[in-house]
Homo-oligomer: A and B are copies of this chain.
Amino acid sequence: MTITFFGTSAGKPTKQRNLSAIALRYEQKNEWYLIDCGEATQHQIMKSDYRLGKLTKIFITHLHGDHCYGLPGLLSSRIMENISTPLEIYGPKGIKEYLENIKKLTKIKLLDYTEIIEICDKSDSTSCHEDNGTKFNFDTFDVEVISLDHGITTFAYCFFEHISNGSIDVKGLESIGIMSGKIYGDLKKGKTVLLNDGTKIEPKEFLLEPIRGRRVIIAGDNCKPDILGDRLNNLDLLVHEATFTQEVFENLEEKVKHTTAKQLAIAAQNGGVKNLIATHISPRYIKNPAKLQNDINLLDKEIEKYFKGNYFIANDFDAFLLDRKSFELKKL
């Protein structure tokens, strides 16, 4: 699967970083999903090889503007491009009112072919009046929704891919002279095949091992990465905010509910995460800043110090491949 960052800035855009938006694509599916949609996400998509017509699900982590102000424009462009692919939008309670108000006032067909699914925040029994659960089952993966700690209802979305049936051992079958697509298909379905010469071929002899699904968590803003608990254990990929370095955070005049690079690295290390991508970087961090404490490299060093797995700090348009078999993460 591929994870592409359309925006990696916290709060407001900079010349280098746009606001939160992440594309997720499973190689076996001819569609893609968007997690968060800050202002100008449609502009970033336009610069990439992703197309709005193949976007079928949007997951919004929370309703702060830097994560959702790009939704109305993206939906509006869908309508103007006559896209009629069904689109599902998942998000916290309030997202429906947000989009329906805008639709009403701007008097355009903003929500055609679109379904909005509001999610309960279980920590707040009054926050949801719809009977949506916190787990969604799709054909090849499930999405579990975890409430985070950010002062406003905020979610992490856990993309847990289903185990895939073992594929056919084509090389093995070819080595005994069997090249027929029909036989391959029957074996894949679990049928015993009787050859013309009377030989019986049992499926279990020529099916490779099933492959476990990839487990990926993409979290919204959050000041307690530990809240993800056991789900971090052997997690193939955690994408999580690291808005500040520890030093800058400790000197902030007003405390904010964000995670530091150090806190994220420690939580990922203790939890047992295999691959980590830090994003949602405060606009203060740049290359060669006037104040040394705002050097983007300090975030990197802080993670390196406390996390021993494979990690990256995301930049806009960075794309990562999480391999289906090796479960290794590499930057494309």
Contacts and interface: CB of A to CB of B under 8 A. Distances in A.
A66 B108 CA distance: 11
Nearest to A74: B39
Interface residues of A, number: 37
Contact of A15 (B39, B46, B101): B46
13 contacts: A13-B77, A15-B46, A39-B40, A39-B42, A39-B70, A39-B73, A40-B43, A65-B72, A65-B76, A94-B105, A98-B101, A98-B105, A98-B106
Interface string A5-28: 000000111110011000000000
A105 B15 CA distance: 28
A97 interface: yes
A267 interface: no
B106 A102 contact: no
Contact of A63 (B39, B77, B105, B110): B105
Interface of A: 11-15, 18-19, 39-40, 42-43, 46-47, 63-66, 68-70, 72-73, 76-77, 80-81, 94, 97-98, 101-102, 105-108, 110, 152
A111 to B, nearest CB: 13
Contact of A97 (B18, B46, B101): B101
Contacts of A108: 64-65
